[in-house]
Amino acid sequence: MAKRGRTRYLRVNPRRPDPLAIHVAAQILRHGGLVAFPTETVYGLGANAFMEKAVQAIFLAKGRPADNPLIVHVGSRYQVQSLVTAVPPVAEALMRRFWPGPLTLVLPSSGRVAAAVTAGLTTVALRMPRHPVALALIRAARVPVAAPSANLSGRPSPTLGRHVLQDLGGKVDVILAAGAAEVGVESTVLDLTTAPPVLLRPGGVTLEELAATVGEVRLDPAVGLAPLAGVVPRAPGMKYRHYAPRAPLYLVDGDPEKVAIRIVALVEEARSRGEKAAILTSEEKEEYYRARARPALLLCLGPRSDPARAASRLYLSLKACDRHGVDVIFAEAWPESGMGLALMNRLRKAAAYRVISV
Query: Binding residues for ligand AMP, per CB under 6 A?
Result: 68-71, 106, 118, 121, 123-125, 148-149, 186, 189, 200-201, 234-238
The residue (of 107 and 249) whose beta carbon lies closer to ligand AMP is 107
Binding-site member from 149, 187, 281, 345 for Mg ion (CB under 5 A): 149
Q: How far is the CB of 240 from ligand AMP (least distance, A)?
A: 8
What distances in angstroms separate CA 82 from CA 85, 102, 213, 350, one per listed residue?
Answer: 8, 21, 25, 37
Give the DSSP letter string of 70-124.
-EEE-SSHHHHHHHBS---HHHHHHHHHH-SSSEEEEEEB-S-S-HHHHTT-SEE
Q: How far is the CB of 22 from Mg ion (least distance, A)?
A: 24
Out of Mg ion, ligand AMP, none, what residue 123 binds, judged by CB under 5 to 8 A for its kind, is ligand AMP
The residue (of 222 and 358) whose beta carbon lies closer to ligand AMP is 222
The residue (of 146 and 279) whose beta carbon lies closer to Mg ion is 146
CB 289 within 8 A of CB 263: yes
Mapped onto helix, strand or coil, the DSSP state of residue 213 is helix
Q: How far is the CB of 9 from ligand AMP (least distance, A)?
A: 22
- Return the range that interacts with Mg ion (CB under 5 A); candidates 52-60, 120-128, 142-150, 211-219: 142-150
What DSSP state is assigned to residue 149?
B
Out of ligand AMP, Mg ion, none, what residue 234 binds, judged by CB under 5 to 8 A for its kind, is ligand AMP
CA distance 251 to 190: 26
CB 25 within 8 A of CB 9: no
Out of Mg ion, ligand AMP, none, what residue 71 binds, judged by CB under 5 to 8 A for its kind, is ligand AMP
The residue (of 244 and 277) whose beta carbon lies closer to ligand AMP is 244
Q: How far is the CB of 148 from Mg ion (least distance, A)?
A: 5
Amino acid at 196: P
CA distance 285 to 282: 6
What distances in angstroms separate CA 303 from CA 196, 259, 295, 308, one per listed residue?
Answer: 34, 16, 20, 10
CB 124 within 8 A of CB 111: no
Give the DSSP letter string of 14-39.
SSS--HHHHHHHHHHHHTT--EEE--
Q: How far is the CB of 149 from Mg ion (least distance, A)?
A: 3
The residue (of 27 and 68) whose beta carbon lies closer to Mg ion is 68
The residue (of 118 and 206) whose beta carbon lies closer to ligand AMP is 118
The residue (of 149 and 187) whose beta carbon lies closer to Mg ion is 149
Out of Mg ion, ligand AMP, none, what residue 200 binds, judged by CB under 5 to 8 A for its kind, is ligand AMP
Q: How far is the CB of 106 from ligand AMP (least distance, A)?
A: 5
Out of ligand AMP, Mg ion, none, what residue 27 binds, judged by CB under 5 to 8 A for its kind, is none
What distances in angstroms separate CA 173 from CA 2, 24, 170, one per listed residue?
Answer: 12, 11, 8
Q: How far is the CB of 222 from Mg ion (least distance, A)?
A: 15
Q: Which residues bind Mg ion (CB under 5 A)?
A: 148-149
